[in-house]
Structure 1
Amino acid sequence: MQTILYARVSAADQTIAHQRKQAEAAGFKIDAVVADEGVSGVSTVLAERAQGRRLFDMLRASDVLVVRWVDRLGRNYANVTETIREFMRRGVIVRTVINAMTFDGSTTDPVQMAVRDALIAFMAATAQAQAEATKEAQRAGIDHAKGRDDAYLGRKPSYNRAQFDSVVSMLDMGEAVQAVAKATNLSRGTIYRIRDSRGEAEAALARWGA
Structure 2
Amino acid sequence: MDNSMNEHHETHAYIRVSTKQQGYESQQEAIKAYADNKGLSVDKVWTETITGTSKGIDRPELKQCLNRLRRGDTLIVWWIDRLGRDYSDTASTIRALLDQGVNIRTVNQDLTFTSSTNTQQKMLNDLMITLLTGMAEADRVNRLASAQAGRDALSKQQWQEKFKGRQADTALHERIRELRTDGVSIRGIAKELGCNPSTVQRVLKA
2:146 corresponds to: 137
In the other structure, the counterpart of 1:164 is 177
CA shift for structure 1 position 95 = 0.7
Q: Which amino acid aligns with 2:130?
A: A
| 22 and 182 in structure 1: CA distance in 2 versus 1, 3 angstrom threshold | farther
**Which whole-Å deviations, capped at 9, do the CAs of 1:123-170 have from their partners, x for residues lacking one?**
21222212211221223234445668xx95234878895x53243468
Structure 2 match to 1:60: 70
* 1:4 corresponding residue in structure 2: 12
Give how far 1:105 is off. Answer: 2.1
Q: Within 2, Cα distance between the matches of 1:142 and 1:125? A: 26
- Normalization by structure 2: what TM-score? 0.73
Larger Rg: 2
Q: Distance in 2 between matches of 1:139 and 1:166?
A: 14
Q: CA distance change for structure 1 residues 98 and 182 in 2, over 3 Å: closer, same or farther?
A: farther
Query: 1:19–1:138: structure 2 CA closer, same or farther, 3 Å change rule?
Result: closer
Does 130-139 or 57-66 show the bigger shift? 130-139
CA distance in 1, matches of 2:98, 2:129: 12
| Percent of aligned positions that are identical | 26
Asked if 1:154 corresponds to 2:143, the answer is no
1:103 aligns with 2:113: yes
Equivalent residue, structure 2, for 1:174? none
Q: State the alpha-carbon separation in 2 of the partners of residues 84 and 45 from structure 1.
A: 13
The root-mean-square deviation of aligned C-alpha atoms, in Å, is 3.2
**In the alignment, does 2:23 pair up with 1:15?**
yes
Question: Contact 1:181–1:191 at 8 Å: present in 2 too?
Answer: no
2:204 corresponds to which residue? 191
* Whole-angstrom distance in 2 between the partners of 1:58 and 1:78: 23
Checking the alignment, whether the CA contact within 8 Å between 2:17 and 2:182 is kept in structure 1 is no
Corresponding residue for 1:126? Answer: 135
- CA gap of 1:127–1:82, structure 2 versus 1, over 3 A, is same
Paired letter, 1:99: Q
Give the number of equivalent residue pairs. 179
What are the ranges of 5 or more consecutive residues in structure 2 without an aligned counterpart? Answer: 1-8, 191-196
CA–CA separation in structure 1 for the residues paired with 2:85 and 2:163: 31
* 1:173 aligned residue: none
Partner Cα distance (1:32, 1:2) in 2 = 8
Structure 1 unaligned blocks of 5 or more: 171-179, 194-210
Matches within 5 A, 1:26-41: 26=34, 27=37, 28-37=40-49, 39-41=50-52
TM-score by length of structure 1 reads 0.72
2:62 matches 1:49 = no
